[in-house]
Structure 1
Amino acid sequence: MGIPLSPRSAQVIDLETMRQRQLAKRRLLRLCPELDGLEMLYRLASDPDTLYGMPLLAWGLREDGEIVGLVPWMEALTPCHALDDPEHGHFVGYRDPETEEIFHSPPEHKVFELEHAAAYFDYEETGETTLIQQLPDNQGTHALCMDDDDNPWQLKQVFGWRLYSNGEVEALLVDENRVTATPVLMGDDCLYPGHSRHRVVYFFQRVIANRIKEEDPATLEALALMVAK
């Protein structure tokens, strides 16, 4: 026979609070660009014997101390190891195309850079969401922007990325009607966060974006299937 618990010994576990705490530990605190051409390697279930490479855009330091490679993938700037989808891709590791070395942990020089930068830019937390960092896009990333069903989609170049104090990262797009000087640079008033105006934003590498612009039939067919989902 069990021993009845007194009211004081009972504990109420708030699962939502625990979930928020875990998510907070994964929040990005700092970004640094990848400027040496290192790649993410991934595999498709439809072609398991082939490894595909994609240039890393940046590295990110999380609140729990973990450092992750980041790529523009589907609808977000995504940690590489979060790619675990049979259809779209499964993360395998990182690669240095110059030496062909494959590795699974961030390079030491990026760990050093991020940790010291985070210690130097040690912002005080406030109740408001604030801008922490801006990072130019040096890969020619493009965003497919969709609004209401009646409006045509737009393909726009990504000029940069903003990291906010809540850990969210937004792509910066250009409002052509507000351009007052060229070339467009980070900090210009004509730049705006993609999700502030568009219901859906999908990211593409420059090669795929150019195929869309050239109206490549196979690319447009794949795009139509993706948008229809």
Structure 2
Amino acid sequence: MGASLSPRSAQVIDLETVRQRQQAQKCLVRLAPELDGLEMVYQLAASPDAYYGLPILAWGLKEDGSVIGLVPWMETLAACQDLNSQENGYFIGYRDPETEEIFDTPPDHKYHELVAAAEYFDYEASGEVTLIQQIPDTLGTHALCMNHPNSPWHMKPVYGWRLYSDGSLDALLADENKAAMTPILLGDTCLYSAHARHQTVYFFQRHIANRILEEDPATLDALAMMVVASD
């Protein structure tokens, strides 16, 4: 007769641990500003035959070793390849305006730059959320800030971006009443994190922000529809 088989010991899977591990792999650990004018290419469902270019602000290294392009988009600094909205746009690839080449993955030199910097600035893990890195905003990004649905909005220039130890990102805005020197630079005490003070923040490219400030009717109508749709 064959030998009896003992039942395999049950394995208990800690779903919270798995979730935390998966989330950690998605976390950003280092940023590198984009200084050579590389762009993100995207399409809109309303214009299927047209392609649009948006300057990349920075590249980010994730915990799992992958690199992503980052652009100010709607309410966050978004990963290019995560943009997949028929209405607001979906990611096609990256573009070098100088050569007009379109490519699917971030350039190798940015990967090597980020990995080297992450190895050099090897921060120890901490139980508290701490500031890891600050980079300047080089695109003239503006933030439309609202504290309540019916309260007045304010358009403010973005001076920089902060990366925290939990992988989160936030924009740096200025309290003009506390500005002691001009121009305002990273490290100035008048700067504060956008989401720490404002309930809702939307990010816009410089030319769109100027249209809003000039109260262009078509731009204001589109802005009103966007805010209502996001509520």
Q: How does 1:25-64 map to 2 (within 5 A)?
A: 25-64=25-64
How big is each residue's C-alpha offset from its partner over 1:117-138, in whole Å with a ceiling of 9 and x where there is no partner?
A: 0000001101011111100001
Which residue of structure 1 aligns with residue 197 of structure 2? Answer: 197
For 1:84, the aligned partner's letter is: N
What CA distance in whole angstroms lies between the structure 1 residues aligned with 2:227 and 2:68?
A: 29
- What does residue range 134-145 of structure 1 map to in structure 2 within 5 Å? 134-145=134-145
Q: Secondary structure at the match of 2:195?
A: helix
Matched, 1:9 2:9: yes
Deviation at 1:28, TM superposition (A): 0.3
d(CA) in 1 for partners of 2:51 and 2:62?
Answer: 27
In structure 1, distance between residues paired with 2:74 and 2:131: 23
Matched, 1:223 2:214: no
- Give per-residue Cα distances to partners, 1:182-208, cap 9 Å, x unaligned: 111100000000000001111000010
- Map 1:205-220 → 2, pairs under 5 A: 205-220=205-220
Q: Distance between the aligned counterparts of 2:10 and 2:198, measured in 1?
A: 47
- Equivalent residue pairs, number: 226
Counterpart CA distance in 1 for 2:89 and 2:15 is 31
Q: Where does residue 94 of structure 2 map in the other structure?
A: 94
Q: Secondary structure at the match of 1:78?
A: strand
Letter in 2 for 1:98: E
2:3 corresponds to: none
**2:138 maps to 1:147:** no
Which amino acid counterpart does residue 130 of structure 1 have in structure 2? T
C-alpha displacement of 1:150 = 3.6
Query: Which segment drifts farther, 8-17 or 128-137?
Result: 8-17
Q: C-alpha offsets along residues 41-69 of structure 1, whole Å, 9 cap, x if unaligned?
A: 00111111111100000000000000000
| Structure 2 CA distance for aligned equivalents of residues 129 and 21 of structure 1 | 17
Structure 1 residue matching 2:19: 3-state secondary structure: helix
Farther off after superposition, 103-112 or 68-77: 103-112
- Structure 2 unaligned spans of 5+: 1-5
Cα distance in 1 for residues equivalent to 2:148 and 2:69 = 33
Q: Report the RMSD for the aligned CA atoms in angstroms.
A: 1.6
Shift of 1:107: 1.1
SS at match of 1:219: helix
TM-score, normalization by structure 2: 0.94
In structure 2, the partner of 1:82 is 82
- What one-letter code is carried by the residue in structure 1 that aligns with 2:36? D
